[in-house]
Structure 1
Amino acid sequence: MPLTGDYTWTETATILKLTIPLHNSAPSSVDLVCSSLFIKVSFEQYLIHIDLHGQVDDGQKGSKAVVKNGVLSIKVVKVDKGVWGRLEVEGKESGSLSKQDLSARREESLEKMRSKLDAMHERAKEVKIEEERGQVRKQMALEQAERQAIDDLKATEKEKAEREVYERFNEIKVEEAKKAAGAVVPKAEKVVKFAPKKEAKKAKKKYEDDDDFDDDIDMEEEEENQETSPSGSGGDEIWDISEVQGGSENPSEGFDLDRDALDDDDIDEEEEGGAMPPAPPAGDEIVDDDELDGSDVPAPRNSVRTTFKYTPRLFKTPARESTIPTEKEFVAKNRPHLHNHGLLNKEALDVSESDPTWLKGKGDDLFRNGDYLSAINAYSSAYEASPTMLPALSNRAACYLKIGEPARCIADCDDALRVSTEKQGLLADVPGGVGGFWLKLFVRRGTARCQLGDFATAAEDYKKAWDLNKASVDLKNDFEKMERLAAVSEIKKKGDAKLGGGEVEEAVELYSEAVEMDKRFVSAVSNRAGALLAMGRFDECIEDCDAALDMLANLGSTSGPVPPPGSDKRRDWVIATVCRRGKAKSETGKYSDAVKDFEMALKLVPEGRTKVRDSLANDVEKLKELQELQ
């Protein structure tokens, strides 16, 4: 026999919300059915039937169910706006509404839901089919475009090939016409240097493009050719062979107008129009390539092997690709573990880089100027040069505390306390002696432990520091503060355990007890706001969120474990608190204020967290829709 589960409910004019504790049940065991007039929830041995007083829109986008911290939250949108004043239908509790009527009412509501789901499935199928058809059409269009491109390419290549064939036919016709007229086509030897390749191609194109060469030669050029032609053939000769051969009258020493000659790479400059240059000066002998026997070629040079030395680097990445600031930060943080690294030891170029006293003083100057990373490097070098330089180790711990590295600060304090306990003589020249040196270490380690939220051990460190200087009122106050924070932290942890187990009311009581002990314990205030939101106490949730955000915005106004300013964790705290406040405002009908909170959270979320940004953007759109309906 299932047990009837407990729940609470709240309503506005447009929204109905149910809060159901799951009593440590797994979220996967929850079965939820929500129709327009009926809600059914079952999980493990529990069963809840709710016959709603009014009708809700089970298909509205604003409706949702979420399991968080062991609590099931159901939110649905009302069809008819207005406050019901009751959750279930009239007559159910008094028994005036029979079981048959309730069953018929439920069945009718469920049937409407089934019909709506079937219609949604059909629409989804139609959309899917249309999308597939669209993809097929796109693919067909793409293939058609590819085929057309291939056809166009074929047509272009065909046209080009036909044009080349016609041009060659024209060349053959011209050659046949010249032969029929009795013209001698001379052939050039290798010793002849032709016009430059570019100009020769122009000349070739000039004569290849025309059917009759004589059309491009004026009467004066024809007469000149007739006077100088050795063959006496008149104006059919294009160039004067005697000019090319330096006055030779032998036609066999000329050249013919073929493609190989015009495309030669050894062409000299000529004037546009095809005129050949004058013959080379007397005494200059042009040697054919075939006549070179290699006797005049100089011997090859002696080979030399060259080696390159590169500057050694700690990081095996090219300097142009490395991130220098990141590497420096890595060295600063890991310097204590790199004592024996060869490259780091080679950095000491002179005495100023190896004298521990000088390096410690340099670190002090950098610390005063706020350059904590460089100060860490200087203190590390001083400690490496002399492991007895304990003040450098203590000051490096202070640097780690400044840059938000409490764990490294604690490690340095532990090392300094251990060495100074074993060899107290090392601190003979330290101002304040052993007691003053230990007092600083206890305070720094206690502060670092406080930053990590370990208030109990932090109180022990402050107690040891106070024992070394009982006259200090500040140390006494800090010790008492650490004790109070330790007690508050313990109560807050118990509240976290209750909230995680679904015991929301008990969690609120514990958080309230912690806040009463320390109103600035921001984590307790923020977590109580989340518990109040789960209980539906929205106005109180908004008050706690406002207080938590004020403390996070004002540096030094908080106590307890708080992430350092500018850190990702502190930003996440602010985002979570703003979203809680926006959620509470939306539940009370303050949609415009809720939109502002969610938009603020959206601005704070980094660009890379797309899933969170998309969820917040959807919430903003839904709230704007609800705002318009008001």
Structure 2
Amino acid sequence: MPITVKDYTWEETETSVFITVPLKGVQARKTDIFSTDKYIKVNYPPYLFEVDLFAPVVDDKSTAQVGNGTVVFKLVKKDPGIWTQLAASDAGDKKAMIEKREKEIEKAQQRAEEQKKAAAERKRQEQKYALREQMRLEEEERRRVENAKKAEREQAMTELETWKQQQVQSEIIKRDENQVKPEKLERRNEVAKEEGQKLPVSAHTAQKIEPAKKKEQTAKSKLSMFDDDDANIPAIRSKGKIEVSFTPRVFPTPVRESKLHEEEEWLKKQTEAMRAAEIDDPNLSEEEKNPLWLKEKGDGFYKSGNVLAAVNAYSQAIRMDSKMPALYSNRAACHLQIRNFHKAAQDSSRALELLTPPVPANAAARCKAHVRRGTSLCQLEMYVEGLMDYEAALKIDPKNETLAQDAERIRQIIQGSTGKNDNDALESLD
């Protein structure tokens, strides 16, 4: 049977109640605390402390701190005022206390179930929002590809129309030249007949020439007229060679008939598959090929202080799966510990690239990535760029007072009101 604790102390103000319960040498991790808006229980076998409060409190704003051999409750009163007593009037009745305890436990279970359902619903809504954002980005990419194809088609049609116009103009020029030639041939044949020479043109060609008009000019004048006109005929164009070069393409289809976006995705997947095949080391176990297992190993190394081993674990996990933003963000934290600020900034940037689209589900990860990149840039004395990352993190988590203080400190360094010696303090920004 548990021993009831009665040597507790309590104090109150208009808005708060402070309760101190001694643990009597029991370890804090063996302490079980349960509380609602009207009931508090602390169970640390063989001792038990429970109280039915005089008035309700705000359970969400109340806190319990375990340490130094005590449990200290800070309760926020729902209705401000002085209680004058901690327990309700019927607290001495054991039967009523047991009923009260069972009722409060049932109420707490119902509230926990409601919170679980609300959290699940909120998670579903966030997933739906993330899916809608992803669909919107894919739709924008599809429209961009369609617009690019449309622009290429329009350009090709424009070039084709231009070529057709050039062909029509060249045909007109050739037709005009052919209309001029029969008149010249007629003059040449007349001159040749008068001088008794053989006709220089074939009979088939001569039949096509219309009968020449009678002219009174002499043969010499006709010859001179013919020579003058012949001198104006342009010379025959010299032969040339046109070289055409084509853009190299992996797929044999023309660009206007290909699906560029799908081809790029296919090539990217093929590259990743080839990379995975290259790192298929027979000496590695199945667990060592699992990026999630490697991530957990890296987390364990980091918490134990072995930062270099954590970097190696994260790097191996990235080789297995380069699409996990947590791997880059955690490796950036490791690089910050060993003061490798350039690589920390690079890994943070890569993590932010993968954390798209920006949705509430990845808000905490994006906030950490911004803070880690901002810290790296400040350590490299790029304070303006670092401040931009801290402001981006504050937009994600505007209630974070630590971020606000660090951002204000960076502003003071930029404005010159704080010396550069304060740069060492930036190591603790993350």
| TM-score w.r.t. length of structure 2 | 0.42
| TM-score w.r.t. length of structure 1 | 0.30
Higher alpha-carbon Rg: 1
